[in-house]
């Protein structure tokens, strides 16, 4: 699991559309169905990544804090499940249940959605405005698992972007890449 930084898609980029199976509901869900009235947060995660596991408590808090404010949230797993069976749809459903995820967890079997978003790592965060234009991409905060001088898990960077978006403020173009495990691409 190589430590990988996000690719930092250009701000203002339109959200690539998709329609993927949700392991929680069993339904095929599209971006249009999942988008929020005020913004949409798309998160590339997976079940086994220690960086994802580390930030899951804050992701769950974010969902609780922002869904009612018009932010649509969706998690997507794009890992190769042949090489990493712990990221299979069945295991994704178990993971979602363990974390009591109150938002869809989609399976990107072909990895086309991850490629369309230029996703590189888990977790990788993309915040789109109400018109589905990219307003923020990058890290949740400075917190990392297993470091000597740990920073608290606060979601500071992503929360700041969400709050600015909701209040109609301009978001800073100074944004820091997320860091985590590389997406496990198929051969």
Q: What is the pTM of this model?
A: 0.95
Q: Please indicate, yes or no, if residue 23 is contained in any of the structural domains.
A: yes
Domain that holds residue 88: 3-182
**Three-state DSSP class for 28?**
strand
Confidence band (pLDDT; 50, 70, 90) for 95?
very high
Tally of domains within the chain: 1
pLDDT at 185 over 80: yes
List the one residue out of 22, 33, 13, 34 whose CA is nearest residue 119: 13
pLDDT at 187 over 60: yes
| pLDDT value for 97 | 97
Report the CATH number that the domain containing residue 169 is assigned in CATH.
Answer: 3.40.30.10
Across 59-85, average pLDDT: 96
Across 98-127, average pLDDT: 96
Parallel/antiparallel/unpaired status of strands 179-182 and 28-30:
unpaired
Buried b (16+ CB within 10 A) or exposed e, 142-162: ebbeeeeeeeebebbbbbbbb
Q: Please indicate, yes or no, if residue 79 is contained in any of the structural domains.
A: yes
Q: Please indicate, yes or no, if residue 53 is contained in any of the structural domains.
A: yes
C-alpha to C-alpha distances, 49 to 106, 122, 183, nearest whole angstrom: 16, 7, 10
| pLDDT value for 150 | 80
Q: How far apart are CA 57 and CA 187, in angstroms?
A: 32
Q: Please indicate, yes or no, if residue 178 is contained in any of the structural domains.
A: yes
| pLDDT value for 151 | 86
Q: How far apart are CA 142 and CA 104, in angstroms?
A: 26
Q: How far apart are CA 120 and CA 146, in angstroms?
A: 21
| pLDDT value for 1 | 55
Question: For 37-41, 127-131, 135-139, 145-149, which range has the lowest pLDDT when averaged over its residues?
Answer: 145-149
C-alpha to C-alpha distances, 73 to 67, 85, 147, nearest whole angstrom: 7, 25, 29
pLDDT at 186 over 70: yes
Parallel/antiparallel/unpaired status of strands 134-138 and 124-129:
antiparallel
CA atoms within a 13 Å half-sphere pointing along the CA-CB vector of 9: 24
Tokens for 163? 């709050």
| pLDDT value for 59 | 97
Q: Average per-residue pLDDT in the chain?
A: 93
Q: Please indicate, yes or no, if residue 151 is contained in any of the structural domains.
A: yes
Phi and psi at residue 20, in whole multiples of 5°? Answer: -135, 155
Q: Please indicate, yes or no, if residue 109 is contained in any of the structural domains.
A: yes
- Higher-scoring residue by pLDDT: 181, 162: 162
Q: Please indicate, yes or no, if residue 187 is contained in any of the structural domains.
A: no
pLDDT at 117 over 70: yes
Q: Please indicate, yes or no, if residue 106 is contained in any of the structural domains.
A: yes
| pLDDT value for 6 | 82
């Amino acid at each position: 699991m190589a430590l990988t930084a996000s690719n930092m898609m250009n701000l203002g980029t339109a959200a690539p559309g998709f329609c993927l199976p949700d392991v929680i509901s069993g339904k095929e869900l599209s971006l249009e169905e999942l988008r929020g009235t005020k913004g949409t947060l798309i998160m590339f995660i997976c079940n086994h990544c220690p960086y994802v596991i580390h930030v899951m408590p804050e992701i769950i808090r974010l969902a609780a804090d922002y869904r009612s404010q018009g932010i649509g949230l969706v998690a997507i797993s794009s890992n190769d499940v042949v090489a990493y069976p712990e990221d299979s749809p069945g295991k994704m459903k178990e993971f979602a249940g363990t974390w009591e995820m109150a938002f869809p967890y989609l399976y990107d079997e072909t990895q086309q959605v991850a490629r369309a978003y230029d996703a590189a790592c888990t977790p990788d965060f993309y915040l789109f405005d109400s018109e589905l234009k990219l307003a923020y991409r990058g890290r949740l905060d400075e917190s990392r698992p297993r470091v000597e001088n740990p920073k608290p898990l606060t979601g500071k960077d992503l929360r700041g972007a969400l709050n600015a978006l909701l209040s109609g403020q301009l978001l800073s173009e100074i944004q820091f890449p997320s860091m985590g495990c590389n997406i496990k691409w198929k051969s």
